[in-house]
Structure 1
Amino acid sequence: MAVPHERQVRPGGGQIRPTVTVDGLACATWSKRNRGRAVALTPFGELTDDVLAGIAAEEADIARFLGTGPAGSS
C-alpha cells in the first residue's frame, strides 16, 4: 500500500477497511451496498480491466455463497 492511501485503508481508531489487493498491494477499498447484494469500490487510481473482472468474479462468488444473488435478482 502506498503511503498516500494508508488513511483510506486504516482511517484510525483501530479500524481497517475492507481492501482489494493486487500482487500484495492495496488498490481500492470496498463496502457492501444494497443489503449486501452489491459492492461499492473506492479505487486509489485506475483499475485495469483484468482487476475489474477479478473483482466482479469475487463479488458473484460471495453473492452465490451468501445466497443473495446479484443486485436486482430475487
Structure 2
Amino acid sequence: MSKKETKSLSLALQGGGSHGAVTWGVLDRLLEEENLDLEGFSGTSAGAMNATLLAYGLHVEGRDKARELLHEFW
C-alpha cells in the first residue's frame, strides 16, 4: 500500500461571526487529513481569529494543539 502524496494548502478565511464557527468545523476536518500540508493562512474578522489560532497551534505543538485551541475558542 503506497503512502498518499502530501498536498500543500493555503487558506483565506472569511469573517462574519457565525461564518467563523462554520469555518472552524471545516478546519477541524482538514486537520484530520495527514496528507495536507497547511502552510499559509489569511483571514478577516472571525477568519483572522481562526487563522491565528490555527497558525499558533500548528507552530507550538502541531495539529492536535490547533484543534484544541479552535475548540476552546468556539
Fold agreement, TM-score > 0.5: no
More strand by share: 1
More helix by share: 2
Q: Which has the higher contact order (CA 8 A, sep 6+)?
A: 2
